Amino acid sequence: MMKFRQIEAFRCLMVAGTTIGAARKMNVTQPAISRLVADLEDSLGFRLFNRAKGRMEPTVAGVRFYRAVEENFLGLERLTQVASNIRNDTPEGISVACLFVLSTTLMPLVLKEFFKYHPEVPVTVDTCNGPEILVRLQDMKVDMAISLEFPPFAGVEVERILRVNVSCALPVGHRLASKEKITASDIHGENMIGWVPIISQNYEKEVQVLKNAGSIPKNVIKTHTSHTRYAMVAHGLGLSLVEPFAAKIWKNNGVVVRPFEGDICYDYVLAYPSGGTRSQMLYDFRDAVLKVTREYDFGFNARAD
């Protein structure tokens, strides 16, 4: 049967890379680390490390097992931090999962607004993609999330906060940059940076709108993060249909952004683990998010009708 001390020794060894480093982390001897890991391997029934010439190299099974250990330790470390905060009378903190692009555009403004009233409250911003956000919410590893809307998921409650129209990002000097609006037919035959299909539900929206217009662009690159799409455009690799939050950042870095005339909207939501008790601070953070989203300056008319 696995013991916590064995798991702890395994994790320390994976993080430190050597038995010496792991021993220092746990304040024990090197032989103790080796014995704990060996006992864990006996309990598991497979090798976690290959031993050769005094070195311990993780096996494929060891790396796979470490991923599961790390996920559980993150939850344990959060509990440890909460206990420490209570013990030391430290203000309760908030943990928020957030899309990459929102962490660099919307979130700084939300934090400025929130800190006007709670300057002493620590906020952890966990930046990740959509599927990772859902996992964190279902595992109750964050208090809330700001994300693109997603289909209903067990254990997750959502509240729509904003709808925006899609925009078209073009390299400076592109033949379409002089137009006030870009249509689906405009981008027929153009090099395009698109979504990775398995990552974003917006992929299907784009495909359908272009198909309806008989527009067939050349999908030269596909990626799942907004800033990456803007960066590819800035380097002249193609155009892209993008969310408008980062438009102001990239307009000064080789990108022209124009409204896209098509039935594609992005819905953004606040999401929470279901059934949890929400503190007043969480409600105050929600109010800060709503205030900022209502007043956010996209730099052009990006809001949906």
Any domain includes 286: yes
DSSP string over 96-142: EEE-HHHHHTHHHHHHHHHHTT-TT--EEEEE--HHHHHHHHHTT-S
Confidence of residue 89 (pLDDT cuts 50, 70, 90): low
CATH classification at residue 287: 3.40.190.10
Q: Is pLDDT at 185 greater than 80 in this prediction?
A: yes
Any domain includes 223: yes
Q: Is there a single domain that holds both residue 258 and residue 272?
A: no
Q: Whole-structure pTM over 0.75, yes or no?
A: no
Q: Is pLDDT at 301 greater than 50 in this prediction?
A: no
pLDDT at residue number 298: 82
pLDDT at residue number 264: 84
Q: Is there a single domain that holds both residue 74 and residue 112?
A: no
Q: Is there a single domain that holds both residue 151 and residue 275?
A: yes
pLDDT digits (tens, 9 = 90+) for 274-288: 876 678 889 999 999
Any domain includes 162: no
Q: Is there a single domain that holds both residue 191 and residue 149?
A: no
Q: Name the DSSP letter for residue 17.
A: S
pLDDT digits (tens, 9 = 90+) for 255-277: 999 999 877 888 999 999 887 66
Confidence of residue 134 (pLDDT cuts 50, 70, 90): confident
Q: Is there a single domain that holds both residue 16 and residue 150?
A: no
Question: Both tokens of residue 235?
Answer: 């380097």
Q: Name the DSSP letter for residue 201.
A: T
Q: Is there a single domain that holds both residue 171 and residue 258?
A: yes
Q: Is there a single domain that holds both residue 114 and residue 83?
A: no
pLDDT digits (tens, 9 = 90+) for 67-85: 888 777 666 555 565 566 5
- Nearest CA to 1 out of 46, 49, 40, 34 is that of 40
Any domain includes 187: yes
pLDDT digits (tens, 9 = 90+) for 209-223: 888 889 999 988 988
- Nearest CA to 127 out of 155, 107, 150, 152 is that of 107
Instruction: Indicate the range of 1-15, 95-109, 187-201 predicted with least confidence.
Output: 187-201
Q: Is pLDDT at 86 greater than 60 in this prediction?
A: no
Among 87, 103, 127, identify where a domain stops.
87
Confidence of residue 91 (pLDDT cuts 50, 70, 90): low
Number of domains the chain contains = 3
**Rounded to whole angstroms, what are the CA distances from 182 to 97, 187, 259, 287?**
33, 8, 6, 35
pLDDT digits (tens, 9 = 90+) for 31-41: 999 999 999 99
CA distance 275 to 207: 37
CATH classification at residue 11: 1.10.10.10
pLDDT at residue number 276: 64
Q: What range does the domain containing 77 cover?
A: 4-87
